[in-house]
Structure 1
Amino acid sequence: MFTGLVEEIGELHRIGRKGEAMVLSISASRIMNDLKLGDSVAVNGVCLTATTINTSQFTVDVMPETYRRTNLKELQAGSKVNLERAMAAGARFGGHIVQGHVDGTGYIRSIKEDQNAVVYEITPSNAELFKYIIPKGSITLDGVSLTVVNVNESSFTVSIIPHTLAETILASKKVGATINIENDVIGKYVDHLLHYGSRGAASKEKSSGISHEYLSEHGFA
């Protein structure tokens, strides 16, 4: 589990490709202090496993499913990436629950300054993602925990403070750039429970008894 608070910006040292499979060699410093083989690292918000480690670099494997669903396929040697180690037990939880399981990508539609903040407008590549995107809800963009400001039929906006821009790769993103999107896991679980029993093989299973009416009656919707 991650928090969406990026620890440092790493750099792609080398990329190995074989079809839709990749091996990324990433240069880093801060996260190398206690990184161990098999540890999870969020790279642009994608949960990956460290497979080799030395004093200044580590490697991770990218599966075809991850290749297809994220923007990692667009990376080149020298690309900057957001890095976060898995959350340590007992640490402060400053962001929100982030799994590193990217739901899809989107593109940056506009970037506008708003006094001391910068507002990014994002259009998801898959309109299905909108059912989990709500004003003032949590969302993760390239591994960064952010709060949704507004949502319309084709895009949503987030407002980013200078500190977040300085500590992540979002500052280098331009209009038209692809960005990884992970929706709030709580919304995904609620949606699954509400519709469990009406999807495929699940329709043969006993209903959980949870409905929109039940959630409303008990103050959850």
Structure 2
Amino acid sequence: MFTGIVEERGEIVGREDLEEAARFRIRGPLVTSDASFGDSIAVNGVCLTVVELGDADFVVDVMAETLKRSSLDALSAGAPVNLERAMAADGRFGGHIVQGHVDGVGSVVSVSPSENWTVVRVAVPADLARYVVEKGSITVDGISLTVSSIGADAEYGDWLEVSLIPTTLAETTLGTVTTGVHVNLEVDVIAKYVERLQSAGTDGGQR
């Protein structure tokens, strides 16, 4: 499990496309400082398994299903990525519950900078919009953020906004995000459990 507090902005240093899979080599001196074979590291919010360790970098295998359901397939050498190690049992819970299981891919539709923060609007897949509430938690490319506004319009459909402080802009990939970029979204898992429990009360839990 993760908390959405990005520890390091890493970089894709190599990609090998395999049959129905891809292998990425990722530079991340901090997250590899105590990593071992088989450890979990979130890469842009996707929980991946370390299959090889190098000098300040690590290798992960990404299966076709993950490439299809996340924005990782668009990454190539040189791309920056947000990195977070799995939360230690005695660690501080700085963000919110993040599983590293991407629910869908959103698209950045506007970036509005101001003197002290930047507002980013992201188009949300219709099947995820019901889990997003104003002032609730959302994970965007592995970053735990607070939803500052929600809405819908004819051009983009459902959308959410997040307001980014200078530290988030400086320390994560959202600092250089532009319109049209796809981002991984993970909604608050508690909302999905509540929905499931409510439906169990009306249909006997049969799905």
Which band: TM-score by shorter chain? over 0.9
| Matching residue of 2:155 | none
Which of 168, 173, 177 pairs up with 1:169?
173
User: Which amino acid in the other structure matches residue 73 of structure 2?
Assistant: K
* Aligned counterparts of 2:40 and 2:91: Cα–Cα separation in 1: 16
Greater than 2 Å deviation, 4+ residue runs: 196-199, 201-204
**Displacement after TM superposition at 1:196 (Å):** 3.0
* Aligned counterparts of 1:129 and 1:55: Cα–Cα separation in 2: 39
| Matching residue of 1:135 | 134
Which of 157, 164, 167 pairs up with 1:160?
164
Structure 2 gaps of 5+ residues are: 153-157
| Identity of matched residues, % | 48
Q: Give the number of the structure whose residues are more often strand, by fraction.
A: 2
- What is the correspondence of 1:145-156 to structure 2 with a 5 Å cutoff? 145-153=144-152, 154-156=158-160
CA displacement 1:65-87 (0-9 Å, x = unmatched): 11111000000111111000000
| Matching residue of 2:83 | 83
User: Which amino acid in the other structure matches residue 53 of structure 1?
Assistant: L
Instruction: Count how many residue pairs are aligned between Structure 1 and Structure 2.
Output: 202
CA displacement 1:173-208 (0-9 Å, x = unmatched): 111100000000100111111123778x9528xxxx
Structure 1 gaps of 5+ residues are: 205-221
**What SS is found at the alignment partner of 2:128?**
helix
Q: Give the number of the structure whose residues are more often helix, by fraction.
A: 1
Quick check: which has more Rg, 1 or 2?
Answer: 1
* Aligned counterparts of 1:88 and 1:113: Cα–Cα separation in 2: 35
139-148 vs 17-26, which moves further: 17-26
Q: What TM-score does the superposition give when structure 2 sets the normalisation length?
A: 0.93
**CA RMSD of the aligned region, Å?**
1.6
**What SS is found at the alignment partner of 1:5?**
coil
Q: What TM-score does the superposition give when structure 1 sets the normalisation length?
A: 0.87
Checking the alignment, whether the CA contact within 8 Å between 1:197 and 1:203 is kept in structure 2 is: no
